[in-house]
Amino acid sequence: MPSKSSCDNTDVCARSALDRRQALVVGLGAVATAVWGRPSSAQGVRSDRDRAELTCVVTPDQTEGPYFVDEHLNRSDIRSDPSDGSVRPGLPLNLLINVTGIAGCRPLAGAIVDIWHCDASGAYSDVGEPRFKTPGSRFLRGYQVTDQSGSVRFATIYPGSYPGRAVHIHFKIRARSNTAEAVELTSQLYFDDAITDRVHQHAPYSQRPGARTRNEQDGIFQDGGRDLALALSASAQGYDGRFKVGLKLPS
- So what's the pLDDT on residue 155? 95
- Over residues 53-96, the pLDDT tens digits come to 445 655 459 999 999 999 999 999 999 999 999 999 999 999 98
Does the pLDDT of residue 149 top 60, yes or no? yes
Domains and CATH numbers, the chain: 22-191+200-247 (2.60.130.10)
Nearest to 174 by CA among 231, 240, 78, 245: 245
Query: Could you give the C-alpha distances from 165 to 50, 122, 154, 215, 224, in angstroms and in order?
Result: 29, 10, 23, 8, 14
In contact, 51 and 26? CB cutoff 8 Å: yes
Return phi, psi of residue 118, to 5°.
Answer: -80, 165
- So what's the pLDDT on residue 54? 45
- Over residues 209-224, the pLDDT tens digits come to 889 999 999 999 999 9
Contacts of 55 (CB under 8 A, 6+ apart): 24, 26, 100, 105, 244, 246
